[in-house]
Chain A
Amino acid sequence: EAEVAQSPRYKITEKSQAVAFWCDPISGHATLYWYRQILGQGPELLVQFQDESVVDDSQLPKDRFSAERLKGVDSTLKIQPAELGDSAMYLCASSLGPQLYEQYFGPGTRLTVT
């Protein structure tokens, strides 16, 4: 069964350092999402791609976060510089298309900023 892949699974970094996460969606899925899940809370959407284009980044802290999906397949989420409050689980999800299609989630990257 096809799955969304994410790496690394765990990342520890010091504040002010740069960190990057990678996501490989299910093959053929045009829509890709990055969510952030703070411990004890539900996931919150950071950015949504349709193919290589960003369609929703209204909740992305653009002063320190960036995301790209250059060829419309895999995606990278970057934080620079990392802050203590960025400690969270970063989840990637993909779907065949926007809106009515089911979102499939990867296992996530657990980030700890010290």
Chain B
Amino acid sequence: GDSVTQMEGPVTLSEEAFLTINCTYTATGYPSLFWYVQYPGEGLQLLLKATKADDKGSNKGFEATYRKETTSFHLEKGSVQVSDSAVYFCALQETSGSRLTFGEGTQLTVNP
């Protein structure tokens, strides 16, 4: 079945550091890929998405590129801020359905 694997966390960075959170997936078809963010006490929010190979999703300084050859969708940001502290989830959605399959999440803490 479909699955998503994220890098083990938690991740702790200093403000303005470079961020990478790794995500790889297993799917039978050609899924859409997503990054969701969950701030403390809030629901999940869509951060960015990509629907086909080589697409780059971007939002709020975050980027991720859909790499079919490596089945990856790594999240990057050039300069993190304290306000980026949250849990980040990678997810996929098969073209044939609506179900989102999530990774286990990565807790990011950014210190001033």
A residues adjacent to B (C-beta < 8 A): 4, 31, 33, 35, 40-45, 48, 55-56, 91, 93, 95, 98-99, 102-108
Contacts of A45 in B (CB 8 A): 99-100
Q: Are A42 and B89 in contact (CB under 8 A)?
A: yes
Q: Are A56 and B98 in contact (CB under 8 A)?
A: yes
Name the segment of B11-19, B36-44, B76-84 touching the other chain: B36-44
Q: Are A41 and B45 in contact (CB under 8 A)?
A: no
Contacts of A103 in B (CB 8 A): 46, 98, 100
Residue pairs across A and B with CB atoms within 8 Å: the count is 53
Query: A95–B103 Cα gap in the complex (Å)?
Result: 21
Is B97 on the interface with A (CB-CB < 8 A)?
yes
A31's partner among B36, B44, B95, B98 (CB-CB below 8 A) is: B98
Q: Are B44 and A43 in contact (CB under 8 A)?
A: yes
Contacts of A33 in B (CB 8 A): 98
**10 A–B pairs (Cβ distance < 8 Å), ordered by A:** A42-B4, A42-B102, A42-B104, A43-B100, A48-B99, A55-B98, A93-B44, A98-B98, A103-B46, A108-B43
Contacts of B99 in A (CB 8 A): 45, 48, 56
Contacts of B98 in A (CB 8 A): 31, 33, 48, 55-56, 95, 98-99, 103
Query: A105–B43 Cα gap in the complex (Å)?
Result: 5
Q: Are A102 and B46 in contact (CB under 8 A)?
A: yes
Contacts of B102 in A (CB 8 A): 42-44
Q: How far in angstroms is the closest Cβ of chain B from A22?
A: 15
Is B75 on the interface with A (CB-CB < 8 A)?
no
B45 (CB) vs chain A CBs: closest residue = A105
Q: How far in angstroms is the closest Cβ of chain A from B100?
A: 7
A56 (CB) vs chain B CBs: closest residue = B99
Query: A98–B103 Cα gap in the complex (Å)?
Result: 21
Query: A81–B101 Cα gap in the complex (Å)?
Result: 27
